[in-house]
Chain A
């Protein structure tokens, strides 16, 4: 072996190492951004870092995390759901009315709405439709239904749901436990089971999956049904916290959920998503949007901008890291 060849090999090994380091750094990015926001909060207001403080600050984190996971499933299949926000609002209205007064009807309607999501997946696959347009249209459908069910803000959450969301476990606040649980369950299902690989593969390389004999129709239906399921859970969790509903209650969740997935290391194409990252991203957004701004005495006008700025900063950091990955 000539000296030049050895040198080349060494260089190859060192770039491989650098690439592995960059990849690790990149997968740590969601956790790092959350830690940064937490540090900022601790620095601005040390009292917030307590059992009570976290319970308060992360109050709305559970529904946001669930909506983010819902969005993550469609993104895993290279689609996008622009209706998840109004869907969460629709579920909220059903939860605060029918699920309390006529539980059976409520359950049937919620299960039916998951069925509608599954049908949308089939429709989008079979007719090769752009999911952005279909779900944008559906966002009007859900909002219309929500207004029909609950024309004026009101209703009341079922008692079992209220007591579930008001659960106060010892030592660790409930939102943190719930977030860990959601992340663990979805991580196992999507990242550790063999069918989870197929689901992600439908976004990564659909043609290869098809040639290997898997049904792309089935994967798309399942991904959309999972989005519906987690949308339902998000809407129910939201009503369990707010106790009453409003047809517009979930509207902000559409963009928040997309931002959470991307913050968590997800990418739009290629089935590259991360359930743990998505939950971390949702927590980051939930903390940065209001508690951090309040502590920094920034008026609520800039709340939305803070979300956008965080998104841009994290994406910029990702570009810097990826540059080293090569």
Chain B
């Protein structure tokens, strides 16, 4: 009983319960048909949300006002860069991935440069940056119709016993992120800054460097996501990252991370991502129109935030 109580006290358990509930509702609707396939599909799609969600989580944990609005533009540009560098050639996969990572890191570093040099709120900095990145992407990726190398496309769709390999790798990555957050100096510094930036500074945390690293990390994960998305959906696209602005912020908040900063939760990101993907699957299975789907997605997100959010700031 005691273990059950500690389990319920965990903030991330609710997102997994929500995902389970949505899955059960869908399976009940189809009469048990396709339940396993649905989990496979949900896992492979949730991966993309989890990767950017973790980056966004570190940024949001830095404290009020910290958020990366440049992720969609970043993902779009990185997807084009990855496809152009790989050029459909299996031998160039690693180089293309590295190029996408570098592209994302450059975006993240540019974001922090704006925040630092102009002393503006991160929302405005990442917003202005995303305007420019978007234009670069439109101009650079115009008419880009390069397919991903077959090896890369196969890799992003590769499954073992119905479990996407990409999902397994992402689980390992999130375990690493959780360790970095709770057990390493970097993660503890991020939490300290989020709780009280002045106290963290007085305690000797190199605030500037940690914030720089965090924005660069978020940018890098956006770049990685762009490359993987282009592989999974067989081609780059300016709009490929659009849905990840809402998704990355929503999974962080639904997953139990405090928007006021200083309190983060890695497992919750997975639960919330599965919840969102399964929710879309459910609405599609029910056969609702695009308008109703958008409407319900929005209402459910607002509803979940209303129930799950609402904690006071830590100060």
User: Which residues in A have some Cβ–Cβ distance to B below 8 Å?
Assistant: 80, 123, 127-130, 132-134, 136-148, 151, 255, 258-259, 262, 268-269, 299, 301-309, 311-312, 315-316, 318-319
- A141-B128 contact, Cβ under 8 Å, with A136-B245, A315-B120: no
A232 to B259, CA, bound (A): 30
A167 to B301, CA, bound (A): 43
A128 to B120, CA, bound (A): 24
Contacts of B179 in A (CB 8 A): none
Contacts of A140 in B (CB 8 A): 246, 294-295, 297-298, 301
A21 to B252, CA, bound (A): 44
Contacts of B309 in A (CB 8 A): 127-130, 133
10 additional A-B pairs beyond A137-B301, A301-B142, beta carbons within 8 Å, are A123-B306, A127-B309, A136-B245, A137-B305, A139-B298, A140-B297, A144-B291, A147-B290, A258-B127, A315-B128
B291 touching A301, Cβ below 8 Å: no
- A259-B127 contact, Cβ under 8 Å, with A140-B294, A308-B132: yes
A304 touching B134, Cβ below 8 Å: yes
Contacts of B306 in A (CB 8 A): 123, 127, 129, 134
Write the B107-119 contact mask toward A (1 if CB under 8 angstroms, else 0): 0000000100111
Q: What is the chain A residue whose CB lies nearest that of B250?
A: A133
Q: What is the chain B residue whose CB lies nearest that of A316?
A: B118
Partner of B295, one of A145, A255, A319: A145
A312 touching B253, Cβ below 8 Å: no
A138 touching B142, Cβ below 8 Å: no
Q: What is the chain A residue whose CB lies nearest that of B65?
A: A268
Nearest chain A CB to B176's CB is how many angstroms away? 26
Nearest chain A CB to B294's CB is how many angstroms away? 3
Nearest chain B CB to A165's CB is how many angstroms away? 28
Contacts of B11 in A (CB 8 A): none
Nearest chain A CB to B293's CB is how many angstroms away? 7
Q: Does B183 contact A (CB under 8 A)?
A: no
B291 touching A148, Cβ below 8 Å: yes
A141 touching B142, Cβ below 8 Å: no
A324 to B303, CA, bound (A): 47
Contacts of B296 in A (CB 8 A): 144
Contacts of A132 in B (CB 8 A): 67, 123, 249, 259
A273 to B144, CA, bound (A): 42
B142, B253, B292: most-surrounded residue (chain A CB, <10 A) = B253
Nearest chain B CB to A301's CB is how many angstroms away? 4
Q: Which 3 A-B pairs have the closest CB atoms?
A: A308-B131, A140-B298, A144-B295
A309 touching B124, Cβ below 8 Å: no
A129 touching B310, Cβ below 8 Å: yes
A137 touching B246, Cβ below 8 Å: yes
Contacts of B282 in A (CB 8 A): none
Nearest chain A CB to B296's CB is how many angstroms away? 7
Q: Does B47 contact A (CB under 8 A)?
A: no
Q: Does B5 contact A (CB under 8 A)?
A: no
Contacts of A130 in B (CB 8 A): 253, 259, 305, 309
Within 8 A of A (CB), among B75-126: 114, 117-121, 123-124
- A128-B136 contact, Cβ under 8 Å, with A143-B294, A308-B129, A312-B118: no
B295 touching A307, Cβ below 8 Å: no
Q: Does B209 contact A (CB under 8 A)?
A: no
Q: What is the chain B residue whose CB lies nearest that of A305?
A: B135
Contacts of B120 in A (CB 8 A): 315
B135 touching A144, Cβ below 8 Å: no
Contacts of B292 in A (CB 8 A): 144, 148
B139 touching A301, Cβ below 8 Å: yes
A138 to B299, CA, bound (A): 7
